[in-house]
């Protein structure tokens, strides 16, 4: 990751500093040069001035020494002192005796410390006073000293003007230079830096850095286009590297021919799946699929065709969407002609059998290649987690073993690892097949079991129960075939048939003068069927049965599977006058809070609690609790599975309203039920 630098424009500031500093130094130095030249010129001027002064007084001074006239000499000296620069003037004889002289103090000025070192405090000039042209004779000397302060003051004034203007010029030039630099260099550079910061390091070629305006052909423009080329190149390289990595990963985890996960990846994935399943207490099936006689296909056709076949086989295998739409599968090629499948979160081994059967059907359809049809047959070995093993290796090994063994017996079939599971599943499969024809073959009939009211000791109605007489097996208990039909959805048609039969019988009895309230069992699957309300209403109308002569029983678990829709349906049918009862109460969630919400008026205590009543303390207290709970909610209670007088006495004395069970009657056919009615006093007729 590129670190984002704050763009605090340090370069601009440095540039400003350096440009200004060098301009100032240059300006300062140039000014100093000018000042030095000026100083030299001032010194020359001083000398010239002295020469001029001396020239003017030379003659009278000579005359004064010649004639040894102190008065004249004094006049000359006084004349000289009219010049304010003159600090000392004297006319001296050759023997050094003074003819006339005058002094005054040096000007006291604050700048002297600066100028005295340049010009010195004062300057002394001497000229000889000579007379005679052919033979000149020196009669004395004229000496003057000049106070330099006057000249220095002028010099200082000029110098400061020169210095200040020099510095000012340098400053202005420096600032202009800085702005030029800034416009041409640092500003576009800052722009480039900002764009560079926006470049995504993992996709550097995605954005290009814009070329700064008017810099297309200069160094900056070239820099930007070079950088852009570089970024693109880096991006391309990154992409190539990623693609290469992905290829390597794929090669190490997937089968190159079928693109399915290979054995290694499948094994790891299975182990992860098992870890999750263990935590969530789910069941998992591992199906190992081997192609029967693949070697002969290879030798019969070509290896090329063999490869294509394996690819098509893999497609069909992984595209399978078994009986359970919600559960997903993961397919893998273990190697050669062996494949495997994980089936997630199955309810029971039966789900795996269903998937295996679907697979066998799907895979046995002919594959078409170059005009010829090829049939492949498959054998599947199945293991179930956690029943047959808890590790991936264990389950895989056992399912492969089972598949290999099954191949030796017969082909194009599935086999469970455990023999008992296998035979049970086979049984279920064959029942399922037969069940699909049972309705059209008229193999069903219904029976009636009376319900007794404990207050009046009369029959108040009957529960309708279905019976299946299998042409070969004979009686098959509903506890066996109802779950199968719930699993494959045929319960909807079967349930409709029961409802219709019940209403048909009810109508017959009504004609005979018996108004019997019939209770039918509604499965959770039927409750999920959108048309259930209409079916009930239509059936009642068709047989002209008033709704109060129908009751529906639903189980706790059935309601809980889809609470909101169940509540809606039950509320509606209750409004028409149909009674509602909760079946097998106590075996499911048994929660008071949801019982309150449910639109039911009757609770059925499950027969398992009634069975051990008086013998088992727990069951006794459960029965008591259910009765009390129902009473507190204003619901009536019926006990199911009453087999003895003791049970009846207990139930009656504890407030149970009704009873149903072998003690009164087994579920019987319609004619028998009528006989029972005639024997027993009934409140119905």
- Residue ranges binding ligand C2E (CB under 6 A): 449, 465-466, 477-479, 482, 495, 498, 521, 523, 583-584, 607, 640-643, 661-662, 667
Least separation in angstroms between residue 664's CB and ligand C2E is 8
Using the rule CB under 5 A, which residue among 228, 262, 521, 526 binds Ca ion?
521
Length of the chain: 685
534-563 residues near Ca ion, rule: CB under 5 A? 553
Least separation in angstroms between residue 546's CB and ligand C2E is 21
Q: DSSP labels for 197-231?
A: HHS-TTSTTSS-PPPPTT-TTSHHHHHHHHHHHHH
Q: Can residue 337 be called a binding residue for Ca ion (CB under 5 A)?
A: no
Per CB under 5 A, which region of 336-344, 525-533, 557-565, 638-646 contacts Ca ion?
638-646
Site size for Ca ion, by CB under 5 A? 5
Least separation in angstroms between residue 501's CB and ligand C2E is 9
Burial of 522 (0-12, 13-18, 19+ CB in 10 A): buried
Question: 452 vs 595, which CB is nearer to ligand C2E?
Answer: 452
Q: Can residue 584 be called a binding residue for Ca ion (CB under 5 A)?
A: yes
90 binds, among Ca ion, ligand C2E, none (CB under 5 to 8 A by kind): none
Written as six digits, the tokens of 283 are 């069941």
Rounded alpha-carbon distances, angstroms, from residue 155 to 161, 215, 418, 516: 10, 51, 122, 140
Least separation in angstroms between residue 659's CB and Ca ion is 13
Question: 144 vs 520, which CB is nearer to Ca ion?
Answer: 520
Q: Give the residue from 242, 195, 187, 236 showing the smallest Cα distance to 215.
A: 187
What three-state secondary structure class fits 297?
helix
Q: Can residue 583 be called a binding residue for Ca ion (CB under 5 A)?
A: yes
CA distance linking residue 262 with residue 244, whole number of Å: 19
Question: 416 vs 609, which CB is nearer to Ca ion?
Answer: 609
Question: 66 vs 664, which CB is nearer to ligand C2E?
Answer: 664
Q: Please give the residue whose beta carbon sits closest to ligand C2E in the complex.
A: 661
Least separation in angstroms between residue 678's CB and ligand C2E is 21
Question: 357 vs 584, which CB is nearer to ligand C2E?
Answer: 584
Question: 477 vs 513, which CB is nearer to ligand C2E?
Answer: 477
Residue at token pair 């054995």: 263
Question: 496 vs 584, which CB is nearer to Ca ion?
Answer: 584
CA distance linking residue 75 with residue 73, whole number of Å: 5
Least separation in angstroms between residue 344's CB and Ca ion is 32
111 binds, among ligand C2E, Ca ion, none (CB under 5 to 8 A by kind): none
CA distance linking residue 100 with residue 485, whole number of Å: 155
Least separation in angstroms between residue 604's CB and ligand C2E is 7
Q: Are 642 and 663 in contact (CB under 8 A)?
A: yes
Least separation in angstroms between residue 437's CB and ligand C2E is 18
CA distance linking residue 485 with residue 492, whole number of Å: 8
Per CB under 5 A, which region of 39-47, 521-529, 531-539, 677-685 contacts Ca ion?
521-529
Burial of 604 (0-12, 13-18, 19+ CB in 10 A): buried
Question: 77 vs 498, which CB is nearer to ligand C2E?
Answer: 498
129 binds, among ligand C2E, Ca ion, none (CB under 5 to 8 A by kind): none
Q: Which residues contact 69 (CB under 8 A, 6 or more apart)?
A: 63
Least separation in angstroms between residue 520's CB and Ca ion is 8
Q: DSSP labels for 530-572?
A: TTHHHHHHHHHHHTT--GGGEEEEEEHHHHHHTHHHHHHHHHH
Least separation in angstroms between residue 465's CB and Ca ion is 7
Written as six digits, the tokens of 224 are 């930007």
Q: Can residue 422 be called a binding residue for Ca ion (CB under 5 A)?
A: no
Per CB under 5 A, which region of 149-157, 283-291, 510-518, 632-640 contacts Ca ion?
632-640
661 binds, among ligand C2E, Ca ion, none (CB under 5 to 8 A by kind): ligand C2E
Residue at token pair 């207990």: 650
Q: Are 657 and 454 in contact (CB under 8 A)?
A: yes
Q: Are 251 and 264 in contact (CB under 8 A)?
A: no
Per CB under 5 A, residues contacting Ca ion are: 521, 553, 583-584, 640
């Amino acid at each position: 990751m590129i670190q984002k630098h704050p763009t605090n424009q340090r370069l601009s500031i440095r540039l400003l500093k350096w440009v200004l500093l060098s301009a100032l130094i240059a300006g300062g130095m140039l000014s100093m040069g000018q000042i030095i030249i000026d100083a030299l010129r001032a010194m020359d001027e001083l000398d010239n001035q002295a020469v001029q002064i001396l020239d003017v007084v030379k003659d009278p001074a000579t005359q004064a020494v010649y004639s040894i006239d102190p008065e004249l000499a004094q006049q000359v000296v006084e004349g000289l002192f009219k010049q304010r620069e003159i600090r000392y003037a004297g006319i001296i004889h050759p023997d050094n005796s003074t003819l006339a002289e005058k002094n005054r103090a040096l000007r006291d000025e604050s700048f002297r410390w600066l100028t005295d070192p340049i010009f010195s405090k004062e300057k002394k000039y001497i000229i000889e006073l000579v007379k005679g042209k052919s033979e000149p004779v020196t009669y004395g000397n004229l000496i003057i000293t000049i106070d330099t302060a006057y000249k220095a003051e002028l010099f200082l004034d000029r110098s400061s003007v020169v210095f200040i203007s020099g510095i000012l010029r340098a400053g202005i030039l420096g600032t202009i230079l800085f702005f030029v630099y800034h416009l041409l260099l640092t500003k576009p550079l800052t722009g480039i830096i900002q764009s560079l910061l926006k470049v995504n390091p993992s996709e550097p070629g995605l954005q290009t850095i814009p070329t700064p305006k008017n810099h297309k052909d200069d160094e900056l423009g070239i820099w930007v286009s070079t950088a852009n080329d570089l970024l693109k190149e880096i991006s391309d390289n990154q992409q190539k590297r990623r693609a290469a990595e992905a290829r390597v990963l794929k090669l190490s985890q997937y089968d190159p021919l079928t693109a399915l996960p290979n054995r290694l990846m499948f094994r790891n994935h299975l182990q992860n799946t098992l870890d999750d399943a263990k935590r969530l207490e789910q069941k998992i099936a591992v199906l190992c699929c081997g192609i029967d006689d693949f070697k002969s296909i290879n030798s019969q056709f070509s290896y090329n065709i063999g490869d294509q076949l394996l690819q098509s086989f893999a497609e069909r295998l992984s595209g399978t969407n078994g009986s359970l739409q919600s559960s997903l599968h993961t397919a893998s090629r273990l190697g050669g002609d062996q494949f495997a499948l994980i089936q997630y979160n199955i309810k029971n081994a039966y789900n795996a059998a269903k998937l295996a059967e679907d697979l066998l059907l799907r895979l046995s359809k002919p594959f078409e290649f170059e005009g010829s049809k090829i049939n492949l047959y498959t054998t599947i070995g199945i293991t179930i987690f956690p029943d047959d093993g808890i590790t991936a290796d264990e389950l895989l090994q056992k399912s492969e073993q089972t598949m290999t063994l099954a191949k030796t017996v017969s082909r194009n079939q599935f086999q469970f690892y455990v023999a008992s599971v296998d035979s049970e599943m086979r049984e279920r499969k064959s029942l399922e097949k037969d069940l699909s024809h049972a309705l059209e073959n008229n193999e069903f009939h219904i029976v009636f079991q009376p319900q007794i009211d404990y207050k009046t000791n009369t029959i108040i109605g009957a529960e309708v129960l279905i019976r299946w007489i299998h042409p070969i097996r004979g009686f098959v208990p509903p506890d066996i075939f109802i779950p199968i039909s719930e699993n494959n959805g045929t319960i909807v048609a079967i349930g409709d048939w029961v409802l219709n039969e019940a209403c048909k019988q009810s109508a017959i009895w009504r004609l005979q003068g018996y108004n019997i309230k019939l209770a039918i069992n509604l499965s959770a699957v039927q409750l999920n069927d959108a048309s259930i309300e209409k079916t009930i209403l239509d059936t009642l109308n068709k047989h002209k049965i008033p709704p109060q002569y129908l009751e529906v029983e639903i189980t706790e678990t059935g309601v809980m599977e889809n609470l909101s829709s169940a509540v809606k349906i039950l509320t509606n049918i209750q409004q028409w006058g149909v009674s509602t009862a909760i079946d097998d109460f106590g075996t499911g969630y048994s929660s008071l809070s949801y019982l309150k919400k449910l639109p039911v008026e009757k609770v059925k205590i499950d027969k398992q609690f009634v069975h051990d009543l008086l013998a088992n303390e727990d069951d006794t207290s459960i029965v008591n609790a259910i009765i009390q709970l129902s009473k507190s909610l204003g619901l009536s209670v019926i006990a199911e599975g009453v087999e003895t007088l003791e049970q009846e006495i207990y139930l009656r004395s504890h407030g149970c309203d009704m009873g149903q069970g072998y003690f009164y009657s087994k579920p019987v056919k319609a004619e028998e039920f009528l006989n029972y009615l005639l024997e027993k006093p009934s409140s119905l007729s």
